[in-house]
Chain A
Amino acid sequence: MNSTLFTNIFRFILLLSVQIIIFNNMNFLGYISPFPYMLFIILYPVNGNKTGLLLASFFLGLIMDVFSNSGGIHTAACIVLAYYRPYLFKFSFGLSYEYQTVKLNDVLTPERFSFILFAVLIHHLVLFVFEAFQISFFWDILIRTVLSTIFTIILCVIIIYLIKPSRR
């Protein structure tokens, strides 16, 4: 129990600092930017404390917002993703996900990939809708969401395999 707590705190700090120092300065074509810091919410233990996840995501988003001057958009995106994460598990892994131990950082199966895809998509959609906050930017929001989602997913998958190479 304690070791998972420390792993999570370590992951929280590491992902956040890498995001702020490196990935916030990455810009393709001026508007495509990756947000792999949300990997913290994806990798949080499946059976972990849900209240803890909600609070952790709140502070994760808040710190991101402080550093990028963006009001509350990262906070909103993070807690929406944290709240709907159990539904995503049900959708991707089937109803009985809580009984089998779902491990995300393992070989990339279609189930795991679909989970990451939808998680990133929800996060980015909320993020860009709140960022624009105007219906007249509809197509802009859609394009940004799709392109940034692709970018983030590629980075997420790379990071997962860099941190935990599958041991056999």
Chain B
Amino acid sequence: MQQIFNFIYKNSNRLLFLLLLGISLFLTIQSHSYHRSKIISSANFLSGGVYERINNVSEYLNLKSQNEILAQENAKLKSILFNVKDTTTIPKLDSIKGIHSDIIVSKVIHNSYDSHENYLTLNSGSLQGVKPDMGVINSLGIVGIIDDTSPRYATVISVLNINFRLNAKVKKSNHFGSLGWNGKSTGFVQLTDIPRLAAIRKGDTIVTGGQSVIFPENINIGTVYKVYTDDKTHYYTLDVKLFNDMTNLGHVYIIKSKDREEITNLENKRKNE
């Protein structure tokens, strides 16, 4: 017994090291799985609050470009609004209720794009009705999918995350494939498993596909930059140049799909039988 205590006392630093290393390894491995209830994420009171303060200051630096983007979008929306004949219901602006999806307006307060698994932090959370697995877009195209929420903040799996997967299609021909990121360049994502018989040319537009329950159909993603054939599967892989500059994000919209619950319920019912 004495010897065991002696051993523990002598090697206390080594044992502490192994214990702490074990904890950090557990956290690392846990963070590499896609679906998780993350123990530590920046959607908490402390880091969310700090990031909001920092963002309050740094926001001023790109007010001009953000204003331009918003003004352009306003012009586009106005042109749609003025062409609609029935204008009896004027939508409220901070949350717009539609038939298939509601929209929550939010702002990016922290953005990362330098690692293989990038996340954004938004300044709206479960109090505003944000839930995991909602889609996030901005005026140019898709941004990511909600990962985790706290009462006032939410984290987003960015498009620039090697775990990100989305059903996407070629706008003109409706050939669809799976969209992901290979971890290399912040301007490009990859669309895989496009059949060889699809006539695809550089510059074709890629939009979200109809199979996704997270995003509505036909939301812009990017344009085809390069086409090549996969050696193993003999399907096309496309390099897609994103419309969004993921390194410079400001205001975003969170899409709350109303059909999602119904579709997943229906699919689960079939599985259970």
A71 touching B31 by the CB < 8 A rule? yes
B24 touching A66 by the CB < 8 A rule? no
The 0/1 profile, CB within 8 Å of B marked 1, for residues 111-142 of chain A is: 00000000000000000001111000100100
The 0/1 profile, CB within 8 Å of B marked 1, for residues 56-80 of chain A is: 0010011001111111110110011
- Return 9 A-B CB contacts under 8 Å, by A number: A27-B247, A30-B114, A30-B185, A30-B247, A66-B44, A67-B50, A72-B27, A75-B24, A140-B184
B183 at the interface (CB under 8 A from A): yes
Residue of A nearest to B111 (CB): A25
- Among B29, B114, B185, chain A packs the most CB atoms within 10 A around the CB of B114
What separation, in Å, do the CA atoms of A16 and B232 have in the docked complex? 46
Residue of B nearest to A68 (CB): B112
Residue of A nearest to B26 (CB): A72
How close is B41's CB to chain A, nearest CB, in angstroms? 6
A72 touching B24 by the CB < 8 A rule? yes
**Which of the four size classes fits the interface of chain A?**
35 or more
B23 touching A67 by the CB < 8 A rule? no
B24 touching A79 by the CB < 8 A rule? yes
B40 at the interface (CB under 8 A from A): yes
A54 touching B16 by the CB < 8 A rule? yes
How close is B144's CB to chain A, nearest CB, in angstroms? 12
Closest 8 CB pairs between A and B? A71-B31, A72-B27, A75-B24, A72-B24, A76-B24, A69-B119, A72-B28, A83-B17
B13 touching A51 by the CB < 8 A rule? yes
Contact for A70 among B21, B44, B117, B185, CB less than 8 A: B117
Give A contacts to B, CB under 8 Å: 20-21, 25, 27, 30-33, 50-51, 54-55, 58, 61-62, 65-73, 75-76, 79-80, 82-83, 130-133, 137, 140
Given the contacts A20-B50, A70-B115, A131-B116, A65 and B20 also touching, CB distance less than 8 Å: no
When distances are taken between beta carbons in the complex, the residues of chain B under 8 Å from A21 are: 54
How close is A147's CB to chain B, nearest CB, in angstroms? 11
What separation, in Å, do the CA atoms of A133 and B24 have in the docked complex? 14
Given the contacts A71-B28, A130-B28, A133-B28, A65 and B40 also touching, CB distance less than 8 Å: yes
What separation, in Å, do the CA atoms of A149 and B124 have in the docked complex? 36
A76 touching B113 by the CB < 8 A rule? no
B183 touching A131 by the CB < 8 A rule? no
When distances are taken between beta carbons in the complex, the residues of chain A under 8 Å from B95 are: none
When distances are taken between beta carbons in the complex, the residues of chain A under 8 Å from B41 are: 66, 69
How close is A50's CB to chain B, nearest CB, in angstroms? 5
When distances are taken between beta carbons in the complex, the residues of chain B under 8 Å from A33 are: 114
What separation, in Å, do the CA atoms of A33 and B113 have in the docked complex? 11
A132 touching B112 by the CB < 8 A rule? no
B112 touching A30 by the CB < 8 A rule? no
B42 at the interface (CB under 8 A from A): yes
When distances are taken between beta carbons in the complex, the residues of chain B under 8 Å from A83 are: 13, 17
B42 touching A79 by the CB < 8 A rule? no
B47 touching A66 by the CB < 8 A rule? yes
B32 at the interface (CB under 8 A from A): yes
Contact for A68 among B42, B46, B183, CB less than 8 A: B42
